[in-house]
Amino acid sequence: MESSLTKACTIKIQNFEGPLDLLFHLIEKNQFNIYDIPINDITDQYMEYLFVAQKLDLEIASEFLVMAATLLHIKSRLLLPEKKEKREEEPDPREELVIRLMEYKKYKEFSAVLKEREKQWATVYYKLPEVMEFHREEEPLELSVEELKRVYFDLLKKNMKKASPDAPKMEEIVRQEKVSLKGTMREVVRALLNRTFFRFTELFSIKKRSKAEVVSGFLAILELSKLDRVRLEQEKQLSEILVYRNSTEIKVWEED
């Protein structure tokens, strides 16, 4: 027994962060399977550590005593004879202890990673940002008219290089003629106030009017026909379109 205590003193007396740390140390030292802990051996070694610590007048935290009581309770449950049916139904009394040890192992490994990072970044020094003040001194420049002219033309050239190659196309779009459909409809109505009908090409000839005006005229007569203000006739496809007025409706629309 004395040799066992001496061996315990040389190997086991050290600072542990808690009872789980001590248990994990004993499992690793004995190379036990954490999922199948030999509860008898681990309990005996745990109690032996507490006995040696008490003999050396070391302060034992209360959580170590609680874990000792837990281990003794599990050991007693495994030693007591029980019926076969009852043992199959009840869970392994070591299961909760295994779960706690696995959680502790995970956090212990993660804390080792953090400790290594702390050691690595402890050698890194940061410099806080400082406000840099620059004193600008203005110096008068003497430039000739020729120099200013040269600089101005250089800026124009640089600006032209920055311009998009599609800029002329955009200008063409902006310059497109805008024709009012409502205004064209009034033009058709006025043309029919003094006559019964007119040929479409008389008023909207492609030779005299722009394409936008001709298209707008065609849309205007269609809209007026829809409103029952005019009547359209065409003998065959691509032949002349004749626009007849509705005498009563034309006058009312023109007055409105």
Which pLDDT belongs to residue 167? Answer: 64
Tell whether the model's pLDDT for residue 197 goes beyond 60. yes
Whether the per-residue pLDDT at 6 is higher than 60: the answer is no
Q: Is the pLDDT of residue 12 over 50?
A: no
* 100: pLDDT strictly greater than 80: yes
The pLDDT assigned to 128 comes to: 84
pLDDT in tens, 151-186: 888 888 888 777 666 666 666 555 666 777 888 888
pTM of the predicted protein model? 0.38
CA atoms of 245 and 227, how far apart (whole Å): 12
Taking the CB of residue 161, how many other CB atoms lie within 10 A of it?
7
Above 80 in pLDDT, residue 96?
yes
Mean pLDDT for 184-205 is: 81
pLDDT: which is higher, 190 or 56 = 190
Q: How far is 173 from 195, CA to CA, in rounded Å?
A: 38
Q: What is residue 57's predicted lDDT score, i.e. its pLDDT?
A: 60
Rounded to whole angstroms, the maximal C-alpha distance in the chain is 136
What is the b/e burial string over 172-189, where b = at least 16 CB atoms within 10 angstroms of the residue's CB?
Answer: eeeeeeebeeeebbebbb
Taking all residues of the chain, what is their mean pLDDT, rounded to a whole number?
77
Q: What are the pLDDT digits (tens) for 112-121?
A: 899 999 988 8
Give dist(CA 19, CA 66) in Å, integer.
9
Lowest mean pLDDT among 41-50, 55-64, 210-219: 55-64
Q: Please state, in angstroms and rounded to a whole number, the distance separating the CA atoms of residues 33 and 103.
A: 15
Whether residue 217 contacts residue 224, with contact meaning beta carbons closer than 8 Å, is answered with: no
What residues form DSSP beta bridges with 242?
199, 233
CATH numbers and ranges of domains, the chain = 2-121 (no CATH), 181-255 (1.10.10.580)
d(CA 119, CA 124): 10
Q: In angstroms, what CA-CA distances link 159 with 148, 155, 167? A: 17, 6, 13
- pLDDT of 215 over the 60 cut: yes
